[in-house]
Structures are given as C-alpha cells and as structure tokens.
Amino acid sequence: MQIHVVQPGQTLFQIAQMYSSTVAAIAEANEIPNPNRLVVGQTMVIPIVGSFYWVQPGDSLFSIAQQFGMTYQELARINGISVTQPLQIGLRLYIPPRPRRNAETNAYAEPFGNVVSPELEQSARQTSPLLTYLAVFSYQVQEDGSLKAPPLNNFQAIARGNRTTLMMAVTNLEEGQFSTELGRIILTDENVQNRLLDNIIATAEQVNFKDIHFDFEFLPPELRDSYSAFLRKAKSRFAPRGLLLSVAVAPKTSSNQKGILYEAHDYGAIGAIADLVIIMTYEWGWSGGPPMAVSPIGPVTDVLQYALTQMPASKIMMGQNLYGYDWTLPFVPGGPFARVVSPQRAIQIAVENNVAISYDNTAQAPFFYYTDNQGRQHVVWFEDARSIQAKFNLIKELNIRGISYWKLGIPFPQNWLLIEENFNVIKL
C-alpha cells in the first residue's frame, strides 16, 4: 500500500491512474463519502501491492534502492531497466512490498453511558482481525472491593471469532473521574485488595478474560511502593491461573517526574512485574489545553526512550490516539473545551470549509484552520496516514512490543490498512 497526499488540482481519477488503481477501490478503502470533493493535503492509502516511486532530481538507482532497503541490481531487474541506464526525472519505479515484522496490538472499547452503541460494536467487529487484545473498558472498583461491570454485548463472541484475547480493564474510576481517595483505599486496605482480586479472578473465569489490565490513575504519590506491591500480589494470584497482567502508565521521561499523574507509576518496578505495559503516549494536545498535536512524535519518542531504560522493549506497547481535537480560537485557559473529532470527520470539516490541510513535520501531525458560520476561527489537529506511519516507523526503530489504541468507535480506516501493511499481528 502507498500513502498519497492530494496536490492542488488533483482529482481521484487522476490519482487512480497514477497508481494503476481505480476510483472505486481508493474511495472504498479510505471511506471517501464524495470522490468528487477532495481537499489539498488530504491523505489516502492506495490499496496496491507494494508501492511506486517517481524519480526526483539528484536520484540514482543506488540511492533509491538504499532508501527502500534493496540492492540497485534488484531494483533495476524488477523494473526491467539496465543498471547503466540514466534515470529520467519523473520515471515511475515499482517498489515491492517490504517484509512485515511481528507486533501485538490492542484497542480499548469503552461503552458510552454504559451502553454499547451499534457503531462501537461494529468497530470492534471490523478491527478485531487486526487486534491481539480487545480491552473492555472498564470494570470499576468499588470501595468494598466489588466491581461495577460494563456491558459486554457481543464482545465475547467477536473476540472468540477472531482469536482476539479479551483484556479486562480494571480502573479506579468514580462517576467518570479517576479517584485519588479510591486509589488510597485499594492500596492500603488488605481486605479490600483480597476481595478485589477474588472478584477479578471470578469474573475473568466467567467471561474468559485472559489479560487483567490495571489502569489506576491519580494515585497518591506517597503510595508508589504500595502500588507496586499490589501489582506484585496480583501477579502472584493471576500467573498460576494462566492470566496475563498488564498495566497502563502515564507518559514519563524521568523517575522523579512530578505530578499526581506520574509519581505513583514506578516504571522499573511495574516493568519487572507486568507481562506488558501500555504507555499512554498521547494527550499533549488535550481538550482543555492549548491547541497542538495530540501525540507529537518528539515527546512520544522521549517517553519511549526513557521507558527503554527501565523495562524490556518486549514489554512496551506505545499508546496511540485515534482522535483529534477542534479548538475554537483564541484559546482561553478555562474556556470552552475542544471538541473531539475523528480523522474522517476532520477531513470532512476541511472539505466543507474548502481549506487545505497542512502538515507539521516536527510534530509529524496534520492540522488546518477554518472559520465557522458564526465567524469564529478554529484549528483542528488530528491523525492521518502520514502521522500514523511515523509512529509505526518508531515502533520498528525501537523494536518495542506493539501499539495500543484509545479508542474504538472513532473512524480512521487508513490506520487499519497501514497496520496490515506494516505488521503481522500476533494472535495469542
């Protein structure tokens, strides 16, 4: 497959001709609602085997081959040209598919208002063939150690039919917010802990969860060691029953990073205990903060590189947002929160307002400005095929375990096409 960025004046018919594809195939793969309405800067994944490269000034057969990890002799042979033949600018060369590496993938499924919408269930059904884990979010711990369960609907059947491992996400959420006080109770009351672990094991056996996933946030900083001890106890209870233990952690760049999000998450200890660790490498740009990329490549890289000093690469899963935000400008701290948008909706907003999509090469993320019908200026930061490919390249470069998505139900077809292009998804 190949990523194409729409240029001024291009039509889908012209793009299809460039890649020896069809309008229908490209429109269907990228779920383009109106093939006659594209915007400059819009990216799409071209569903072809391998890719094409057009010769640029200064290129040589050797430099192009090196770029794609092959020999110049092989490149010449595949394209039926002589190794001594001068390359014409604009010549189209075919590049065969590159080997895919193994990786694990996870995606959270969060029912909204305790209801599994048809859209969420359909999203789980469509993506489960490309998921190692499906994380049902979430089983909320109560103060007595019992669990408030989310609706499951057909998640069990979907996972079973696609050999996807069900992940039981356990949280300290109360009324939609992570509770510091509930975290304190769980980590300091041994009776609550034991009752909680008994309930988790009983639920896992009943539902057929194979991974128990703790997402405890806003924990009291002074209970850092207590959290690690709790996870150690959980691991000792789960392992004999064949249950994996995974943990979500905040994105840190040092062991002494301050803030209630970070201090109780001991990367070294958690990395030693857990079977896998999901690092929440997103929300630099967040709904209540100033406009910026949600997961800029630089900060994401910094967090993962620190994590590699604290735990094995084979345990690390990079967190990735499937959403973007639409901010009303000017941004005012404490003002209206940004609106969540899917990548598909972001493109439609650009189409409706006839504005070009730009790309920030430092952040490796797309964005655009527009003015609404009330005269208010907006900026939208989101994800596209280029930004997600940059994250896949980082996964390969750092040789980490894989990627975890927050969250299903947000349309982003290019992501799943590129998962297939880049990885052999492991099924346990």
Query: Using one digit for the tens of pLDDT, what is the confidence trace for 124-180?
Result: 999 999 999 999 999 999 999 999 999 999 999 999 999 999 999 999 999 999 999
- pLDDT tens profile 293-351: 999 999 999 999 999 999 999 999 999 999 999 999 999 999 999 999 999 999 999 99
List all residues 6 or more positions away from 412 whose beta carbon is below 8 Å from its beta carbon: 322, 342, 343, 344, 383, 388
pLDDT of residue 98: 87
pLDDT grade for 280, boundaries at 50, 70 and 90: very high
Domain boundaries, the chain: 2-95, 101-322+387-425
pLDDT of residue 34: 95
Helix, strand, coil shares of the chain as percentages rounded to 5? Answer: 35, 25, 40
CATH of domain 2-95: 3.10.350.10
- What positions carry a catalytic annotation? 217
pLDDT of residue 114: 80
Residue 85 has pLDDT above 90, yes or no: no
pLDDT of residue 113: 81
Could you give the CA distance from residue 21 to residue 36 in angstroms, rounded to a whole number? 16
pLDDT of residue 148: 97
φ/ψ bin of 247: left (φ > 0), alpha (ψ from -120 to 50), beta (otherwise)? beta
Q: In the chain, how many H helices and how many E strands?
A: 14, 21
Q: By the 8 A CB rule, do 278 and 330 touch?
A: no
Give the residue-averaged pLDDT of 70-97: 94
Compute the mean pLDDT over every residue in the chain, rounded to the nearest whole number: 97
């988790």: which residue's tokens? 200
pLDDT of residue 330: 96
Residue 112 has pLDDT above 90, yes or no: no
What global pTM score does this model have?
A: 0.95
Give the residue-averaged pLDDT of 377-397: 98
Share of the chain above pLDDT 90, in %: 97
Strand order in the sheet with 339-341: 339-341, 324-328, 377-381, 365-371, 358-360
pLDDT of residue 41: 98
Amino acid letter, 242: G
Q: Does domain 101-322+387-425 have CATH number 3.40.640.10?
A: no
pLDDT grade for 201, boundaries at 50, 70 and 90: very high
